[in-house]
Amino acid sequence: MNQDLSLHQRRRLPTEAELANIPWLTQLQPAERERAEAALLVGDAAPGDYVCRVGRPVTYWFGVVEGLLKMSSDNAQGQTMTYTGVPPGGWFGEGTAMKREPYRYNIQALRKSIVAGLPIDTFHWLLDHSIGFNRFVMNQLNERLGQFIAAREIDRLNNPDVRVARSLASLFNPVLYPGVGEVLRITQQELAYLVGLSRQRVNEALAALEVQGAIRVEYGGLRVLDLAALQSSIFQRLADPRAAASGAS
């Protein structure tokens, strides 16, 4: 494959195995699914490739078949703000696609990834004709709203262990990212990019979360052992010396 070609130029038809990893296809009626599968394309993204950029018109609704993407934007001072990561099974940009407006964020591959795209006209055809597709998109929008509210809370947290815990919890969301399961394939450096901390500090936070029984660090990734604990305030209490002293009294 010629890496000098753009991601758009490297698009191709999906394999049967790749189609099997697209979660919303199972929500469609046979005729709807046939139309969707005929329109779907995939691209083999290299690390650093942009899937979409701020200000560009929307042409596809995108999802991750394999790999890991990050959603970010740059402020007026040129600083990059990362909103979230997008692991396998995640589809994103449905709000932008519904309104046919330019992107307000960048989506970039953190590692070699397979990205699927549904043309915008087919996306709107499914909205007009498929109840199952509409339900899937509604669930996406609802979960996405909760995710971004949580992201605002994470931004205000001063404790790095809690920041890492909450960020991991968002990546293990079973509705938004059904392809992750119990194991997330991610490196400490990739997680550091998403959380906005140094690799060393992320490593310390992961060690603390592992001691507390929420995760297990495995070769090439992380296994979640207690998702509810990652989502709760338990680690904030444990990390607060005053709370620990109060609990011991």
| 113-119 and 41-45 beta bridge pairing | antiparallel
Contact predicate 147/122, CB 8 Å: no
CA 21/CA 243 separation, integer angstroms: 44
Domain-embedded: residue 10? no
Domain-embedded: residue 1? no
Q: 118 in helix, strand or coil?
A: strand
Q: Which of 106-120, 168-182, 215-229 has the highest mean pLDDT?
A: 106-120
- C-alpha 242: how far from its chain's center? 35
Q: 140 in helix, strand or coil?
A: helix
pLDDT tens digits for range 11-22: 999 999 999 999
Contact predicate 23/57, CB 8 Å: no
Encoded tokens for 62: 């995108």
CA 170/CA 86 separation, integer angstroms: 10
pLDDT tens digits for range 50-90: 999 999 999 999 999 999 999 988 776 666 777 788 999 99
Provide the domain count of the chain.
2
Give the pLDDT confidence score for residue 39 in this predicted structure.
98
* Between 7 and 155, residue with greater pLDDT: 7
Domain end point (choices 102, 120, 152): 152
**Confidence band of 157 (pLDDT split at 50, 70, 90):** low
Give the pLDDT confidence score for residue 4 in this predicted structure.
55
Express as a percent the part of the chain with pLDDT over 70: 85
pTM: 0.82
Q: Are residues 146 and 171 in the same domain?
A: no
Q: Are residues 112 and 204 in the same domain?
A: no
CA 194/CA 166 separation, integer angstroms: 12
The range of the structural domain enclosing residue 177 comes to 158-248
Q: Are residues 45 and 135 in the same domain?
A: yes
